Amino acid sequence: MKTEIRARIETGEWPVNHRIPSENELVDTLGVSRMTANRALRELANEGVITRVQGKGSFVAPKKRSALALGVRNIADEILERGAVHRMDLILAQAETCGHELAAALELDIGAQSFHSVIVHNEDDVPIQLEDRFVNPAVAPDYLKQDFSRTTPNAFLTSIAPIAKTEQFIEAVLPQPWECKLLAIARSEPCILIRRRTWSQDRVVTAVRLLYPGSRYRLQSNF
Amino acid sequence: MKTEIRARIETGEWPVNHRIPSENELVDTLGVSRMTANRALRELANEGVITRVQGKGSFVAPKKRSALALGVRNIADEILERGAVHRMDLILAQAETCGHELAAALELDIGAQSFHSVIVHNEDDVPIQLEDRFVNPAVAPDYLKQDFSRTTPNAFLTSIAPIAKTEQFIEAVLPQPWECKLLAIARSEPCILIRRRTWSQDRVVTAVRLLYPGSRYRLQSNF
DNA sequence: AAGTGGTCTAGACCACTTA
DNA sequence: AAGTGGTCTAGACCACTTC
């Protein structure tokens, strides 16, 4: 119900400022009760997908501008722009069963399958990002078949599933022992940790932890 | 209804991890229907105020301390929005002579005067941000006369000089000994460091270092 | 078995907008 | 006056957790 409306908006079937069927119309056409239609539209409004005006109707909201310097960038592009050489070391790529936390992060059922990849990104042979990623198989069934020495997970995923929403947290943490090994840093070196989830058409595409050594990387945003 | 529950949580009447009355209990005690109680709890869960587990119950969630990574926000507003108490401790406020680096940062001449303030921002008496700020006297000649127990530097500066441009770097660092003391953290605790400069009408208004303990604060950006 | 949250239906009253 | 969203009640079935 809610996802059907969102799909119509993301596919462009209902363009910006298009008038969305009223709650009563949705009751008739979709065969749901008004409370259900109301809840769906109310939640879409809270997410900023639509705007609602009492007495007038509901309308597709203009897309939020996004991705300043802190947006979702491909680390490979970043490195190449600096004129350096980018190399990926594939540490792990396998299917795994969702535990409690992972299931919640990917919005899947506990016990469902997920794809797990761990990759170290090097800039001029210096480890600069540890990418620990879980992928929703329903969105990217061929994920594990990719050649991760050539295509970044980011590039592959954005090519098959346009990003509709991003949730991102930035923290400062101390690395775990195994992370220190992979990044070739000391245990006492503070790191930037970015935890990011991306959605496409109301499904979680991927949940990723990006770990950067504090001495080798910083985030920049100018506006 | 929703606000009553939120009030009980914010006043500490229901502490973290406290079990919240079930939907049916709220129906009886507050005299609302179950749909209303359900909606209130569902929305509080979406806001991260409570967590819900099917079959078990609803519980007060640990306080989130996160902020938008994009854009310059006033730490005081952030804290107040979370329903906490904001307090500033003024550590230092004086005029200083620009050295080489500072002159470059403020785009002033070496030997020119600048204003320097150091403030610890507390959320519910917990130090959460160390603000080490230099201000261009040409833009804010009255800066040192402000009452920094009432108005934040951010609020004062934005009121007299609208921000035209911002440059911002985000890093992970280990704190200096004197910073550890002011923030009441261990030397090994990684911190988020934001270095920010803002311009108004082509002049640098201020250059500021914002240091957040990694365990108490994270940046958030959704788009 | 009893209690919990997750979800839905059917019906109602209100405030607001448009005509 | 008719249609819109805003909100609420009352009742129901389901999946899950705990005892």
Same domain, yes or no: B102 and B175: yes
Cα separation, B148 vs B144, in Å, equals 9
Asked if B166's CB is within 8 angstroms of A223's CB, the reply is yes
User: Do β-strands B218-222 and B66-68 pair in parallel, antiparallel, or remain unpaired?
Assistant: parallel
DSSP three-state, residue A41: helix
Same domain, yes or no: A35 and A79: no
Domain of residue A12, residue span: 2-60
- Of B166, B212, B219, which has the smallest distance from its Cβ to A169's Cβ? B219
Q: Is the pLDDT of residue A117 over 90?
A: yes
pLDDT at position A218 is 79
Provide the domain count of chain B.
2
Same domain, yes or no: A101 and A158: yes
Nearest 5 degrees, angle CA A101-CA B52-CA B4? 145
Same domain, yes or no: A34 and A94: no
pLDDT at position B65 is 43
pLDDT at position A63 is 60
For the segment B50-107, what is each residue's pLDDT rounded down to a tens digit?
A: 888 888 888 887 764 444 445 556 778 777 766 677 888 888 888 888 878 788 888 8
Picking from A63, A179, A219 by the largest number of B CB atoms within 10 A of its own CB, the best residue to mutate is A219
Cα separation, A153 vs B193, in Å, equals 29
For the segment A59-113, what is each residue's pLDDT rounded down to a tens digit?
A: 887 664 333 445 556 778 777 766 677 889 899 988 888 777 788 788 887 778 8
Whether the beta carbon of B51 falls within 7 A of nucleic chain C: the reply is no
Cα separation, B136 vs B106, in Å, equals 7
The burial class, CB within 10 Å (0-12 / 13-18 / 19+), for A64 is: exposed
**A69 occurs within a structural domain:** no
**A65 occurs within a structural domain:** no
Instruction: Give whole-number Cα distances, A123 to A146, A157, B114, in Å.
Output: 21, 22, 39
A10 neighbors A199 (Cβ within 8 angstroms): no
**A200 occurs within a structural domain:** yes
Same domain, yes or no: B99 and B38: no
The tokens of B134 are what? Answer: 């230099």
- 31-50 on B, CB < 7 Å from strand D: 31-36, 39
For the segment A10-27, what is each residue's pLDDT rounded down to a tens digit?
A: 777 888 778 888 888 888
**A98 vs A213, more confident:** A213
| DSSP 8-state secondary structure symbol assigned to residue A147 | -
The burial class, CB within 10 Å (0-12 / 13-18 / 19+), for B128 is: buried
The tokens of B43 are what? Answer: 């929305």
CB within 8 A of B28, min separation 6: which ones? none
Residues of chain B with pLDDT under 50: 64-69
pLDDT at position A14 is 85
Same domain, yes or no: A79 and A182: yes
pLDDT at position A133 is 94
Q: Is A100 on the interface with B (CB under 8 A)?
A: no
pLDDT band at A222 (very low <50, low <70, confident <90, very high): low
pLDDT at position A223 is 62
**A30 occurs within a structural domain:** yes
Same domain, yes or no: B184 and B150: yes
Cα separation, A118 vs A134, in Å, equals 9
* Distance between B212 CA and the closest CA of chain A, angstroms: 9
What CATH number is attached to the domain comprising B98? 3.40.1410.10
Residue A136 one-letter amino acid: N
- 52-91 on A, CB < 7 Å from strand C: 53-56
Same domain, yes or no: B92 and B13: no
Kindly report the number of other CB atoms within 10 A of residue A148's CB atom.
Answer: 18
Same domain, yes or no: A149 and A54: no
The conformational region for residue A156 under phi > 0 = left, psi -120 to 50 = alpha, else beta, is alpha
DSSP three-state, residue B212: strand
A164 neighbors A199 (Cβ within 8 angstroms): yes
| Residue located via tokens 């605790």 | B189
DSSP three-state, residue A97: strand
Q: A168: closest CA among A111, A133, A210, A124?
A: A210
Q: Mean pLDDT across the stretch A1-18? A: 78
- The sign of the CA dihedral A56, A59, A65, A70 is positive
Chain C, protein-covered positions (CB within 7 A): 3-12, 15-18
Listed in sequence order, the DSSP H helices in B11-99 are: 23-30, 34-46, 75-81
Cα separation, B81 vs B10, in Å, equals 11
CB within 8 A of A131, min separation 6: which ones? A75, A117, A118, A119, A120, A121, A153, A208, A209, A210
**A149 vs A91, more confident:** A91
For the segment A179-211, what is each residue's pLDDT rounded down to a tens digit?
A: 988 888 888 888 989 888 988 877 889 999 999
What CATH number is attached to the domain comprising A47? 1.10.10.10
Same domain, yes or no: B121 and B32: no
